[in-house]
Amino acid sequence: MAEVKSHEFDGFLKRKPLPVRLFLIYGPDRGLVSERAAALAASSGVDLTDAFSVVKLDAGEIGGQPGRLIDEMNAIGLFGGDRLVWVRNAGSEKGLSDALDILAKMPTGPSTLIIEAGDLKKGAGLRKAAESSSAVVAIPCYADDGRALQALIDQELTSEGLRISPAARTRLVETIGGDRLASRNEVRKLALYCRGRDLIEEQDVEEIVGDASAISTDDAIDAILKGDKDGFLHAIQKIVSSKTPVFLVLQGCLRQFQLLELMRAEMDEKRAPAAQAMATLGRHLHFRRKPIVENALKTWTGPAIRRETQRLQAAILQSRQRPALEDTIAMQTMLATVLQSARR
């Protein structure tokens, strides 16, 4: 596998033509994943305005059928030329990882594949498929560090002919950084607010910039597990501001309840405490999330978890069948789950 680190990405994009046609972009910074996927698509040489040359898929459409993606990659455009297959919202779909593994072993064709994924853990099927082949380039996207944030601020403000005072810059850096798109949007909002002036002061930052320093779907899922309605709504507001699809939170919530179901089954079968189930099945969880998940295991019974899992699965199916109502279905379902958690 060739891995392109954050500081190498801009230089990698300048290589013409790009060295491979299979790309996996993943990480907790959803905005940066989306931004880099768009940059790769623009550099692929494919006409992005041609509907016959660009195929956009949701990972859920592939599910456990790798043939769907392989057929799209091997298809020939109506008018010939290169094609782009762009897959979004990828996670633990086995069909997708199997398809990537098969495509990596096939001769290079006329199609470019871009997969946008969430925060894939080490050993996840999709990462494993990419890491085992030199035909795939993996691009991890983590929250911007201080240097990247400074470069982002300079880029956006310079284009507007604005300068920023040291105190205002320090305050701005403190309030951005959790998600690239959210951070960029906040800086652009600040530039628009101060347009026509020479210097941005600290007060301007305090008046107009929102907190975009820690946007994560995990925040919303943790609030659901705790039954914290206000915390959930606050987290969702930040997620929406960052242009992250609400569906990803619903999908993450389903995965969390599927894990709870496995843990609870082990507890009931072995008459083991929640801590023991966490030690065996929850080792991959971030240490800050473990107490929240452990407490949920103590308050949710096995039958209740199964009912909630089935309801979340039904909501995801509904959202796929009625895309126009996707956000509404997701929000209503998750709010109901928050209230269920609060009752427990």
pLDDT, tens digit (0-9, with 9 covering 90-100), for 197-236? 989 998 888 888 865 555 567 889 999 999 999 999 988 8
Cα–Cα distance, 55 to 79 (Å, whole number): 14
Q: Residue 202 belongs to what H/E stretch? A: helix 202-208
Provide the CATH number for the domain formed by 217-330 in this structure. 1.20.272
| Average pLDDT taken over every residue of the chain | 86
Q: Can you tell me the mean pLDDT for 108-114?
A: 88
Q: What percent of the chain has pLDDT over 90?
A: 36
For residue 8, the model assigns a pLDDT of 86
Cβ contacts of 264 within 8 Å, gap of 6 or more: 277, 297, 300, 301, 302, 305
Ordered by start, the domain boundaries in the chain are 8-140, 146-208, 217-330
pLDDT tens readout for residues 231-253: 999 888 878 776 677 888 888 89
Fold of 146-208: Helicase, Ruva Protein; domain 3 (1.10.8)
Q: Does pLDDT of 114 surpass 90?
A: yes
Fold of 8-140: Rossmann fold (3.40.50)
Q: Does pLDDT of 113 surpass 90?
A: yes
For 119, the 3-state DSSP assignment is coil
pLDDT tens readout for residues 30-68: 888 989 999 999 998 888 888 888 999 988 888 778 888
Do 8-140 and 217-330 agree at the fold level?
Answer: no
**Residues paired with 2 in a beta bridge:** 137
